[in-house]
Structure formats: structure tokens, C-alpha cells
């Protein structure tokens, strides 16, 4: 099995990163109106606290480093969008992973690039190694080498 960061694959990663720049730049032009970063949205706070299934997570929100940003889109009489941002525990000094923003475009670009490369043995099922760059990430000792997993050896709650 070859290392993920060998020259051809590193080129693929760099190309994907560069391909996303125009899209991210365009997306950044649509900035929602912000609530003060220290203020939780009463809307989100009441919704989260009223759901009994979320109660255990919300009670330990600091331990789980929970941060939520919800953007409400209101349209005026001319159908122009106006954005209102609702926050829950947003902390500008703490890392926030906007995963849903990039999942679909990155997956689509990666699959397209895999199709274009025509490299024997390189498929959508090729292993990917993911490191532990942040303190909230841990290595899963039960996961086979180079096989990413969302499982954890112990229960979260």
C-alpha cells in the first residue's frame, strides 16, 4: 500500500484545494448578519433545550465543544435574501468545523479527479489516512491501519 502523501496523490490534494478556492471565495461574499459572538440565540437555545433527545449533549455542551451556527434566510418584497445568523455557544477562539459547507463539493471534485487520473489501483475505495491534528481527535486503536472510521472504542454518553 502506498503512502497517501506520495507525489501523485499530493498533487491531487493540492489540485482539489486550489479548485475549491473560487467556490469558497464566492460563498464568502454572502455574509449573514451576525449576532454578537458571545450571545446565544434565544431561538436555538429554546429549540435545543426543549428536545429530550438532545438534553444529554446540551448539558455537557462544553465537554463536547458543541457550537452551532444556523443561518435564517428572510426574503423581502423584491425576493432579495437577508440573512440572520443564530448561534449556540459560538466561540471565535475555538475551532469550528463547517463540515457541511464543503462535503458535497469536495466529494464531487474528488470523484471527478479520480475518473480523470486513470491510475490503476486508485479508486473511490482506496484507503485514506486521517491524522489527529486537534486535541479533540483521538486515534482509534481498533481501526485497521489507513482505514478511516467514525466509530469510537467507548460510548460518548
Domain ranges of the chain: 7-117
As given in the structure block, the three cell numbers for residue 32 are 449573514
Q: How far apart are CA 42 and CA 39, in angstroms?
A: 9
Query: Over the stretch 122-149, which tens digit does the pLDDT of each residue have?
Result: 888 887 666 677 776 777 666 666 555 5
Residue 98: per-residue pLDDT: 73
pTM comes to 0.42
Dihedral class, residue 118 (left if φ above 0, else alpha if ψ from -120 to 50, else beta): left
**Percentage with pLDDT > 70 across the chain:** 59
Q: How far apart are CA 52 and CA 67, in angstroms?
A: 18
Query: Over the stretch 49-97, which tens digit does the pLDDT of each residue have?
Result: 898 998 899 999 999 888 888 888 899 999 999 999 899 998 888 877 7
Amino acid at each position: 500500500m502506498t503512502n497517501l502523501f506520495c507525489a501523485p496523490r499530493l498533487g491531487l490534494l493540492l489540485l482539489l484545494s486550489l479548485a475549491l478556492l473560487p467556490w469558497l471565495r464566492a460563498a464568502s461574499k454572502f455574509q449573514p448578519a451576525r449576532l454578537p459572538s458571545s450571545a446565544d440565540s434565544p431561538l436555538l437555545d429554546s429549540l435545543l433545550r426543549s428536545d429530550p433527545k438532545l438534553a444529554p449533549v446540551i448539558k455537557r455542551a462544553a465537554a463536547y465543544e458543541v457550537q452551532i451556527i444556523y443561518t435564517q434566510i428572510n426574503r423581502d418584497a423584491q425576493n432579495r435574501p437577508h440573512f440572520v445568523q443564530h448561534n449556540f455557544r459560538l466561540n471565535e477562539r475555538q475551532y469550528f468545523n463547517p463540515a457541511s459547507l464543503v462535503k458535497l463539493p469536495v466529494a464531487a471534485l474528488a470523484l471527478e479527479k479520480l475518473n480523470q487520473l486513470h491510475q490503476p489501483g486508485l479508486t473511490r475505495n482506496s484507503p485514506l489516512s486521517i491524522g489527529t491534528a486537534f486535541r479533540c481527535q483521538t486515534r482509534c486503536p481498533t481501526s485497521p491501519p489507513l482505514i478511516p472510521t467514525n466509530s469510537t472504542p467507548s460510548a460518548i454518553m
